[in-house]
Homo-oligomer: A and B are copies of this chain.
Amino acid sequence: MRKKILYGGDYNPEQWLEYPEILKKDIEMMKEAKINTVTLGMFSWSMLEPEEGVYNFEWLENIIEILEASEIEVILGTPSGAKPTWLGNRYEEVRVVRADGVRELQGNRHNFCTNSPVYREKIAIINEKLAHLSLKYKNIILWHISNEFGADCHCELCQKKFSQWLKEKYKTIENLNREWWTTFWSHRYKNFEEIHTPMSIGEMSVTALDINYRQFMVKNYIDYFNFEKASIQKITKHLPFTTNYHGTGNHNMNYREFSKHVDIISYDSYPEWMMKNNLDVAFETSFNFDLMRSTDLNKEFMLMESSPSSTNWQSYSKLKPNNLLSLASIQSIAHSSSSILYFQIRQSRGSAEKFHGAVIDHSGKSSHRVFREAKRLGGELQKLNYSFEKINSKVAIYYSWLNKYALERTQGPRNEGMDYYQNVLEIYRVLKSKGLNIDIVFEDSKLEDYNLVVFPMMYVVEEEIAEEIKKYVSNGGTIVTTAPVGYVNSDDLCHLGGFPGHLKDVLGIEIDEIDALTNEERGKVSYKGKTYTSKYFNEMITLCEAEPLGVYEKFFYKGSVAISENIYGLGKTYHIGTLLEREGLYAILEDVLEESGVYGAIDNNNLIYNNYLGRHYIFNFTETIEEFKFKGKEYSLKGLDYIIIED
């Protein structure tokens, strides 16, 4: 069990082999900053195998030895994140075919075909060599497979796999035709072989085809991850495995599925600090930490990458002011992260990311402000013990990548964007600002441990999750749903007999019609004597067993029900038939929290609270002094600062 927090980040000595004095200075500066961990080998293929079949691991072994001597641990990356030029040029099949039908030329990164036998054959040889090497050094602690998975491919190899995968899923072509409703516009298939992936130059009108393709791409990446893992485990199984998740919940990779295959969940976090309001950014960062770590609540969670200062590929490379680096880093620790790792220890001198923040910059000086901040943080981290433990949360929010695919691809009720991610984030923010730990739950989660579970925009409802919800509410749980809820199944096929399909009983309502609002339009909903603003959709609700809780105050359906509540078994359900703006969400969710017996730890919406390992963290991401009361005592916290209160 890990006892100390890992501190360090990506390090690329292979870029500096001609500069031995720089390599030496780097180690000294790492020690000065209390760095104890570096990631090696990411993007090193062209230095490990400079020509096909010619290998050179000497530089890697040299640096590992030096690091070992300096008591710095190593996360060892496999180099498949970018293909070497000789490989991409010689073997066409390793390069992806884009949605416009063009096979890419060699270049860039993350753009190999996961189904290429050649790519798999070549990386397996490298990985076996790395596995042998890993047996020689005690300071290697973790395998990091490839880098930030995610490119789509439409090549012939993928076409064949896609057909096979569909066949395994649907068994008969008639099942698929029925589920995908292909009779519409005469798009019926006779056999699985004639199904082509959705491309901009081809079929774009069958939404279930898109949804299935997205699921297939996730499956490809998991397969590929497992292939790399197996190539190492042929030699040795003594180390755990991870790969770095990236982006936000908005990314198309289904990390819930992926987390069934990694040993440690790790995440690259690049919030837009200083570009947007920092408090907004901090809530979003908090959400993404909770989302990523919740993909498996029983696995260790690591911050694999972050920037010590600016991020050069964002629109603007904004500096992190003093304190913000600590504040942002400790925020991940408060979400159970066992590490603060940076991209990068030393700035690369040229090419795409030379202006990305680094612990050591182009000047190489230890007097540099960013180095001094990183060193100060290294000191702070020494004070914190660490042991992995499941975070205790009484409230959960439902997130579903499949639901996201379906909402994005379906046509109507709004084609100007559904913003699933943003709307879930808004729910998260309102709840989080009450001073709570929050878990994220998924299609296959158990709900029994929570007092309250919120299901925002749960457009897709399959029977399995509906059953879990009914059991949970029957036994006393509380849920909240928002529009749109229960329209379709996982193939975007509408529920016959009306919406919300399998959730009709538990919500006690029927949804008759959906009126979309334009981007500029706002609705009005009254709730307990006050009027709140809504947006995006208004559902026309017919109450069956439910009671009215709010009504529309605008449009031709003025006076009809907008919000309903229902008692089901020992529990309670709420449905908000529209998307409320923040003030309305505060009003309703505050009441619902109270009814479900959940009480927040602090009383200031501008602060962010976390509770982990007996420590209460309170973060102030604003620039002003904020007051708050905690366990009856009054506190004051200055801007860009945090406080840890021990139990």
Contact = CB atoms under 8 A, between A and B. Distances in A.
Interface stretch (A254-262, A389-397, A487-495): A487-495
A206 B352 contact: yes
Nearest to A363: B498
A277 interface: no
A354 interface: yes
Contact of A108 (B179, B203, B491, B517): B203
A353 B183 CA distance: 12
B206 A351 contact: yes
Interface stretch (A40-48, A66-74, A226-234): A40-48
A447 interface: no
A202 B111 CA distance: 10
B181 A349 contact: yes
A549 interface: no
A321 B555 CA distance: 9
Contacts of A85: 187-190, 194
Interface in A78-113: 79, 81-86, 89, 98, 100-102, 104-109
**Most chain B CB atoms below 10 A, which of A206, A316, A493, A499:** A316
Contact of A82 (B186, B363, B414): B186
Interface in A325-379: 347-356, 361-365, 368-370
Given A411-B353, A412-B313, A181 B364 contact: no
Interface string A295-331: 0000000000000011011111111011000000000
A199 interface: yes
Contact of A540 (B105, B356, B369, B515): B369
A416 interface: yes
Contact of A352 (B207, B313, B314): B207
A163 to B, nearest CB: 13
A492 B208 CA distance: 46
Contact of A414 (B317, B512, B513): B317
Contacts of A207: 350-352
A514 interface: yes
B46 A183 contact: yes
A515 B411 contact: no
A316 B201 contact: no
Contacts of A364: 496-498
B43 A185 contact: yes
Contact of A43 (B84, B108, B186, B516): B186
A182 interface: yes
B50 A362 contact: no
Contacts of A82: 185-187
Interface stretch (A12-20, A114-122, A597-605): A12-20
Contacts of A12: 183-184
A109 B185 contact: yes
The 3 closest A-B pairs by CB, nearest first: A107-B203, A181-B350, A312-B412
10 contacts: A44-B186, A50-B190, A107-B187, A181-B354, A207-B350, A315-B415, A316-B518, A355-B413, A362-B494, A370-B513
Given A84-B188, A350-B494, A365-B498, 9 more contacts: A12-B183, A18-B178, A47-B188, A316-B415, A349-B496, A362-B494, A362-B497, A364-B496, A369-B513
